[in-house]
Structure 1
Amino acid sequence: MATKPKLYYFNGRGRMETIRWLLATAGVEFEEAEYLETRKQYEKLLQDGSLLFQQVPMVEIDGMKMVQTRAILNYIAGKHNLYGKDLRERALIDMYVEGTTDLMGMIMILPLQPPEAKEKNFALIIERATTRYFPVYEKVLKDHGQQFLVGNQFSWADVQLLEAILMAEECKPDILSPFPQLQAFKGRLSNIPTIKKFLQPGSQRKPPADDKLIAQMKKIFNI
C-alpha cells in the first residue's frame, strides 16, 4: 500500500493550500504532519536538514522530502495527468497558473499587512482581479468555447483558477458578476466529484487566516 503524502506546514492556507487543492482534486489522500505551532518545531525541521532551502511548505511524497511550492505542484500535476499532453500545453498551463498565483499572492498577504495599508491593497486586489486577471480567463474560455482552459482537458490551471475565484469571492462576493464564462466555469468545476468533496465542510481545506493564526505565524517565522 502506497504511503500517503505527508504535509509539513502550519494549520492554515498559505502556500500549502494550493498543494492541498491539487492533491485533493487528483483524488490523493494526504496527511497533515504535526502542525507547526511554535518556533521550536520549525527549528527542529531546520536542524534535521529536512528543509533544503530552510523554508516550508515541505511534502514527503514518493520517498522524497520536497520543498519549493512550484516544484511540488509540478510533480503532482505531472504524476496525475494534470499538466497537459505536450510542451505547448504545459507552457499555456504555466502561464495561466502564474497569473492566478500572482492574484492569490496579493490576497494571501493582505492579513499580514498593517491596517493603514489594508484598505489600499484591498482595493488594488479588486481592481487587478477584474481588469487584469479574470478578463484573461474569461476571454480564453469564450474564444475556444471549451469547458477547460487548455486542450479541452481538465488540468492544474483549472484547479488553481477555481481556487483563485473562491479566494476573490471571499473579498467581494459578486466579483464574478461581469464574467459569465467564469461563473459557468466555477459551476462546472465545483461539481467535479473530488473537488465537490474538498469543498464540503469537514474536508482538509483551510479557512481564511484569523488573528490567532496570523500571530502564531509571526512567532514561528520571526516576522
Structure 2
Amino acid sequence: MSGKPVLHYVSVRGRMEPVKWLLAAAGVEFEERFLETKEDLQKLRADGCLLFQQVPMVEIDGMKLVQTRAILNYIAGKYNLYGKDLKERALIDMYVEGMADLYELIMMNVVQPADKKEEHLANALDKATNRYFPVFEKILNHGHDFLVGNKLSRADVSLLETILVVEERKPDALAKFPLLQSFKARISNTPNIKKFLQPGSQRKPPLQEKDIPSLMAIFH
C-alpha cells in the first residue's frame, strides 16, 4: 500500500470535498476509492472500517478516520494549517464552523423539493452576502494576507472553497467586498491551490439532481 492518504467516498462533491481541498493546499497527494454500489459501502461496514457506519473515511498514518470535522482537524494539525497556538486555533475553528454552516446550506439546495428550490437558494445566497461575507470582509480589514496569523491556515482554504461554491450560484457575490475579492485572487494563486483549481484535478463539479438516484441507491 502506498503512503498516500486513501479517501473513501462516492464520486461526487459532498462531505469529502473540504478534505480534498485541505490535502491539496498542503501539497499532499491522495488516492480516491469510490463507492459505486450499496455492496461497496456494506463491505466497508462489514470489515469494521467505519466506526459509525458512515463515510467519508480517510486512511492515514495507520488510522481509519471518520467524521469530517475530525478528519479535517487531524490534517490541519499534521500539515501545520491550524495556527501557532490555542488562540489562533480557536479563531480558525470559529471561522471554519461559520463557513461550514453556509456551505451546507448551499449544498443542500439540490435535495430540496422542486417547488422549494428557488426560495431555498435565494435564502442561502442572501445569508452569504448579508450575514457571512460581511464578517470576513471585516476580518480582512486587519491588513494581513491571511485570516489568522501570518500564514495560510485551514480557515483560508475553507473561505476560498466557500466563496467559489457561492459564486457558482451567484457570480457577482463578491461585488460589494473588495477585500474578499483580493483574498480570493491571492489564495487562488498559491501554487498548491492553483494546481487544484486547474481542469483535470481531483476537485469535483457541483452536485447535480441527476446524481441523486445513484447516491440514494448506495446510501438507502
From 204, 214, 217, the counterpart of 1:216: 214
> Tell me, what secondary structure is at the counterpart of 1:75?
helix
| Whole-Å separation in 2 of the counterparts to 1:214 and 1:197 | 29
Corresponding residue for 1:125? 124
SS in 2 for 1:73: helix
CA-CA distance at 1:212 after TM superposition: 3.2
Aligned to 1:190: 188
TM-score by length of structure 1 reads 0.96
Aligned residues: 220
Which 4+ residue blocks in structure 1 deviate beyond 3 angstroms? none
Task: Work out the CA distance in 2 between the residues paired with 1:86 and 1:52.
Answer: 30
- Residue segments in structure 1 that go unaligned for 5+ positions in a row: none
Please list every run of 5 or more consecutive structure 2 residues that lacks an aligned counterpart in the other structure. Answer: none
Q: CA deviation at 1:112?
A: 1.2
The residue that corresponds to 2:39 in the other structure is 40
DSSP-derived class of the 1:8 partner? strand
Contact residue 4 and residue 29 of structure 2 kept, 8 A: yes
Question: Aligned letter for 1:38?
Answer: T
Contact 2:103 2:162 in 1 (8 A): yes
**Aligned-pair CA distance for 1:152:** 2.2
Cα RMSD, aligned residues only: 1.1
1:74-120 deviations in whole A, cap 9, x for unaligned? 00000111000000000000000001100000111111111112111
Corresponding residue for residue 116 of structure 1: 115
Query: Do residues 147 (structure 1) and 145 (structure 2) align?
Result: yes
SS in 2 for 1:15: coil
Is 2:22 the partner of 1:28? no
- TM-score, structure 2 normalization: 0.98
Deviations 1:138-188 (A, max 9, x none): 00001x111100012210000000000000000100000010000000000
How big is the shift at 1:2? 6.4
Provide the C-alpha distance between the structure 2 equivalents of 1:214 and 1:21, rounded to a whole number of angstroms. Answer: 23
Give the drift of 1:44: 1.2
Quick one: percent identity of the two aligned structures?
65
C-alpha distance in 2, partners of 1:125/1:171? 10
Q: Distance in 2 between matches of 1:152 and 1:20?
A: 23
Q: Is the 8 A contact 2:111 2:209 kept in 1?
A: no
1:211 Cα offset (Å): 3.0
In the other structure, the counterpart of 2:97 is 98
SS in 1 for 2:64: strand
Matched, 1:76 2:86: no
Quote the offset at 1:210 in angstroms: 2.2
Amino acid at match of 1:205: R
Distance 1:64 1:84 in 2: 24
Cα offset, 1:209, TM superposition: 1.3
Q: Which amino acid aligns with 2:139?
A: V
